Amino acid sequence: MAWAVLVVSGLLEAVWAVALGKSEGFTRWVPTAVFGVCVVLSMAGLAYAMRSISTGTAYAVWVGIGASLTVAYGMAFGGDAVSWPKIVLITVLIGCVVGLKFVE
């Protein structure tokens, strides 16, 4: 259960990161509200997962999921440049996150 909560929390990290960028310094109401809700839920899920998953592993998985999805979103919808090196590096990052689950 902790791993499922951690993965969902990582997804929410990507959502709040994108919402933070779209909030334009907290001047736009809807993205600011999405940011606020998602950051609280994401942190709460991370805290819950850390009850049974070590801090280092849980945090690395949480950040890895959030970072990779945020970069992928930027490339797909945000106008960030798409390149093979970025795709390879995101793939390696995801592989490392998956690997952490198996060595925990």
Please write the tens of the pLDDT for every residue from 56-94: 999 999 999 999 999 999 999 989 999 999 999 999 999
Please report the pLDDT score of residue 62 as a whole number.
96
pLDDT digits (tens, 9 = 90+) for 32-61: 999 999 999 999 999 999 999 999 999 999
Domain boundaries, the chain: 2-103
Q: How many CB atoms lie within 10 A of CB 86?
A: 15
pLDDT at 6: 97
